[in-house]
Structures are given as C-alpha cells and as structure tokens.
Structure 1
Amino acid sequence: MSSPKSWRKACVAVAVGAALVIPVTAGGAYGAPTPDPSGSVSPSPGATFPNLDASVSARLDTAIQQVMREAAIPGVTVAVSAPDKGTYLRTFGVADKSTGAPMEADMNMRIGSESKTFTVTALLQLVDQGKVGLDDTIDKYIAGVPNGNRITLRQLAGMRSGLFNYTMDDDFVKAFLTDPRKPFTPQQLLDYGFKHPVNFQPGAEFQYSNTNLILLGLVVEKTSGMPLQDFISQNITRPARLRNTFLATDATFPNPHAQGYTNQTPDGKIANSTDWDPSWAWAAGAVISNLQDLRSWARILATGSLLKPATQAQRLDTAPTTVPGASYGLGIFNVQGWIGHNGSLPGYESLTMYLPEAEATLVVLLNTDVVHNEEEPSTLLGQAITSIVTPNHVYNLPVVPARPTPSATPSP
C-alpha cells in the first residue's frame, strides 16, 4: 500500500510550512537571542510591537480569513498579545463540518510536536535534580540504540543524533494507515527506526527525528521511576497551572474539542481523525492542550521559570538548522526571533511562540493538517499574522521533503 507523501511529516510541524499564499516580504534572518548568564533571553534594543487596536485587528481578521479560504482550513483559534499592547483573540470557522458547530476558544486540541517541549522540559528538570546529565550517552539508560555509546542526551534533544525517524519508515506508515486506532508501544516505535542505518554520525548534522523524543521519554520514565504522563503532570502542568494540558495515553479526548480533518489516508481523501489513537506519537506528539494553557506555556517555556537559569541557558543555546533564519536548541526552535515550537499530527496543527524583545505571545490552533500548495496551514497562518504584527520577525519555514536526507530540513 502506498502512503500519502505528506503523512510522513506528521508529528513535527515546527519545521514545516513555508511562504504565505499572499506574497509577504520577510525580515532579515535572526538567530537565537543570546542567553545571559541568568538563563533569560536578552531582548533586542528598539523592539516595536503594534497596539492591537481595531485597525490592526481588522488587518489580522482579513489576513487569517484569506488564508483559511485559500487553504480550505475548517476552523482556527488565534491569540496574539503583548504587555501594554492589548490582546487579539479570535475564533474562525467551524469545529465540526458535519454540524457546523463553531470553533470556540476553550476547545481542547491535539498539539502534535509541541509535546516535545514538555518532554524535553521534563528531561531538563531531571538534569536540575542531578539524575541525568545532558552529555550522558543514551546507552547509559537504554540498550540497543544504534550508535548508543556515542549519542548524548543533548544531541537527542537538539535533533543531532543521526537516528532514523521512525515516522518515515514504510512499514510504520502502512501499519498506522491500516488501523489508525491501533495503539503502539514506545518499543514498537523504536523498532521501526532502529532497523535503518544511522543517517550521520552524532553531532554532524541537524535532522528532525521523532525517534529522539521516544528515547528521551523513556529516559524520563527510567530515571524518575514514574510514567511520563505522571511526571509531566506532577512537575510541569500542575506547577504551571496548565489545567487542560496532559500527555494522552489513549484516544480519549475530553470535551469540548474540535473535530480533526486530515488527508493522511490510504487514498488521500479527507477523513475525520478525531478519535485516532495518538500513542504512535507518544513523547514526540501526544499532548492535548487548549488556547489559554498554551498562552501561558509560551512564556514559561521561553523564560525557563520551571528550570534553573543555567539549564535554561543551555536550552536556548540554539544552533543553525538548514533553514535560513531558524535555529534549534534543546526541544525548542528560534524562528526569526520567535521562540517556541509548532506541532502537527493527522487532523490538527498548532503553533505556540514567544518573542522576547516584545514579550509577545502567539498561539494558533487549527483542526486540519492538510497542506496547501505544499505549505503547512499553521505556517501559512503564522506567517500571515507575524507579517502584520512583527514584519521584522516573520515566522516562515520551508516545506519538508517526504524522506529525510543528511541535509533535510526538520519535519513533523
């Protein structure tokens, strides 16, 4: 059975997507802000951010609705805010195409690869507790990993391990598409990836791989002595008061939630993926959250309030990717100055970013992952929004190839 080309990107949305349907001129490429010794991000001088008044809101409304029409996006929720500049919060379109029920701001959503920010935060908390070291090799914790005596936890979190991405394996894709409601175990996922040779030696390249996060999830479980979902709950979401955020362990989806629509199917036709089991993504992409939690998480993640300052500084020490203007740290992106992550899995995409110089947050949640002209819908929306509010920091990432190569850009 042949698999849809685009499905293979399904859990890494942060590095997917590209130019807006409407031509937009992006600002110059910005690397990661320099972390100061305290671990916080140093704002750039002369930062400007518009007042989110009626005029700017009207421009955002128009841009978002145009992208939705052109990319056939059913529904989306958007929040943009900055201190003393106001808040833009809108819902557009429908949460359920069969009933016409509208998108609502309080809906629970699957956030795909944004889950990586929670898993890596868990790992870094264990670093702070002295239970793991970022420069430990993975074979200290997990046996049977190709090159395991050379790949460090830092390289796994920074997407520089060289391990094959299991979501790119033909047998995995076939198994998933045959029965998307089937549960997978972490070891099954690793087996799909480990049957392939490594793509490069550790540290030699940047290449997005969901395999890395499955391994880090297992490290968290082994060193903490508790299931990953429990560690995240006790040490991240509860302290951060993220009351609607959790790592899903099955297809259960709390109400209210939007229906998700995907063409990641054997015949490429649109299907409702709402109750597909997310265990295939686990530590790499199975988290559920909502708009309000993610607005809080954007700042918590970027400022490091759950970590020691020195550890946060290491997280933000990003290195270049193959994408101009984008760099990657430890489970976190810097895209033209916006810090955070995006996510994609069948039926849902998300984007949660923070711009330190303006203390601005951007959250986008939508109920489709269907690409438009080889461009991710979340990236189209992110680019449309940031071209208006931060024209010198436009969120724009190129589309990812179907199969990774040593020089491939990050893929979901």
Structure 2
Amino acid sequence: MWGFQARGRAVDRRTVLAGLGLSLGSGCLRLEEANATGEPGTGATGTRRRTTQGTQTASATATDTETATAEPTDTAEPTDTETETETETDPGPSLQLRWEDRRRTKYGVADDGLLINAWDHGVQATEVSSGDTRWEQRSLARIGTDCVPLLTDDYVFAAGRNEDESGNLVLKIDRRSGAIVAQNTIERITPFIGQPHLADGTLVLGIETYNDNDTLYTLDADTLEVTWSGQPTTERFIGAAVVDGLIYTNFFNFDALFSFPDFSLLWEDDGAGLGSPPVAHDGLLYVPGDSCVRCLDPATRETRWKSMRFGRAEAIRVVEDTVFVGSSTYATAFDRATGELRWQTSVGQDTSNGLSPNRFAVEADQGLVWGLGKYNVTGIDSTTGEVVGRGEVGEWADWLAADGDRVVAGNVDGRKCYQVP
C-alpha cells in the first residue's frame, strides 16, 4: 500500500514556505520618495527576558525513545509567571514605512525582491521595493485558504478548490511571468491543508478528511501527476520534512516516519500534539510541540534534547548554530547543539494563533528575526534579542513576509511595507 516510485528529476532549488490568502483589492501608496525619513509606526511596549540562573541544568534521563534530554530546572524557565527573571521595558525604535495599500490578504511570502500573495481567485506577485504588481494569475478559487502554497527559485506551487468546488486544483506557476506550467485536479470534496513539502522532485500534500479517504498525497513536481496516496491517519495534516532518505510527517496529535520516496511506514506515534511543521537540518529534526521543541534523531527516535517549557511552538527556523522559535507572543532563540536558551523577546499583544509560520521569519543575512503581534510587526536582532524596530499594522494582523531588511505585513484592511532605519 505504501510503495511508489517517484518520477521526474531532482530539482536544485532553495525552497521557501509561503502562506497565502483570501482576497486582494487594488491600489498601492508608495512612500519611498514622499517620505524620505519614513513614517514611524505606532510602537508597542514589549519585554526582553533573560534568565538569571546562568547555564541551564541538563537531565539525562533515558528511555527507549528519549535519551540525553537537556531539560532545564524550573528556576531557569522564563515563563509568563516567572519571578526570577529580569524584565525590561523595551519599546524599541520605529521601523520606516516604505509603502502601503488596501489589498486584502490572508498570507504572504517574500524572497529575492518578490512578494507572493493569494486571494479568492488566484495568485499575485508584487515587487517588495515598490509595491507594484508584477503579475496576477486568476485561475483558482479559494486558493490558499487552507493549504499554504510554496515558493521556490523558479516556481510557485499552489492548491485550492475549483470554482464549482468539484475538486482541488494544484498549480505550478512560473515565478517570473505568472504563466501556468502544469496543473492537475484531484477529485476530492475536502481541501488540501497544511504546509506542502518539496524534496527530490516530489511534492508532498495533505488533505482534509472526515472519513476513510486518503489524507496524504505525493505528486511529481514536474508534471503534478499523483504518484502515491495513503492514509496514515484521519488527523489534520500539518507538514513534513525529508532527511537522509526518510520523511517525517506530522498531523495534529499524530506523527509518522516513512522511508522516502517509497513511503514504507517505519514508525508512528499517537498524541504528538504538534502545531506546526518540523524542520530538518544536518540529519536531525527539530520538532515543535505543545510546550517545547525537541531535537530528534529520526532514524533512532532518540531525543537529543528538549527545550524548556515556554508555550506552544508555532514556528521553527534553524540557522547555523541557532534554533529560532515563534510561540505565543514571543520570539525565542536556543543553542542548536544543547537546547540552551539564548534569548526571548516579546513581540507585543497576545494573538489567538501565536507566531505561526506565517507570522514569523528569520533573515539570517541581515541578522534579523521578525515577529507579528496582534497590532504590530517587530524586528529583532538575531544575536542579542534586542528590538531594532516596530511598525503598526492594524488590528488582527494576519501575516508577515520578510525580504532582507524589509518586511511586509497585512490584515483584512491591506498591506504595509516597513524597513529597518
């Protein structure tokens, strides 16, 4: 049941997960020349917390699935009720507003000067520097409302319901021109959900299910033909990561490891309770959980370390020796080798869905971490955790997309582009 042979050649690409959304209006107000010094956004008071206990204590309690776990003592956990921490009032400087418009969006992603958004009937590409539209593709309905599209160096992969809701349309769009390169319709009433994953010429997608139908699909990345489908669980698909010939898939309250690309089931685990996609780096997996992050060896199921408890992990980015995590109202940095806390910084007011993958970004070349609170976007120094700037987005800001020292954030009222002064 689990076997398949992936077709198509491997594609050498840098992949950026893209969250895309509901609807786009028209018009863009550019402030590059009109406001040379920038128009500061409304800052929000935030805090940066540092532990006062020094190096965290590691416990090496070993089980058959979890060994050498580095877990700090309770006194070293900077939680919301922590009393032995140093709390600073740190509103930070204002970011410089570059442009804004009234395009209504749900999610977005930016890379190499290009911002990708989706709306009810298609996908749109916008120049990050100016807010000008590069292209629009108006062939989908409800694109990106459930399934997070994916952006590579050459293409945009997007999935959404057909106009007549007869099935799910999967598109491969040329990144530069907006032309459709390939498409396929999967005749399922329920929509694709979660974050797709692209590896070795194979696109992995999850689909919503309330019955005994398949929940996991693989498509040839060149042709978009279905190469395999199966149902490891009826839980909601979240994401996947490929590492050393293995693919780790996580669903809500369930995770499983398969061989890749033949999809033979190696192990599964109920009750994982994961809230966002895992990240693969140097042969290890960094897996978000309800209250911590685990560094997992996928081949042995050994947990190398488990971070302190800090709230539900909504997003993970791994850059060199640091694991950056978005959770609740904080951005947090951990040592990649040990799981030791480096810094934790508030991004503002609480939000219902925390710093999901669409509300959190790391721009390593610029030394920046970006987080989105309920009203404001916050830029953070990736080394120190210090706030470098805040910009007002509006109530219930939905998403951000970072590109260099610029960030675009949006809600139902429109988009705003800010730059570090």
TM-score for the superposition, normalised by structure 1: 0.28
Larger radius of gyration: 2
Bigger relative contact order, structure 1 or 2, given CA contacts below 8 A and separation 6+?
Answer: 1
Structure that is richer in strand per residue: 2
Structure that is richer in helix per residue: 1
TM-score for the superposition, normalised by structure 2: 0.27
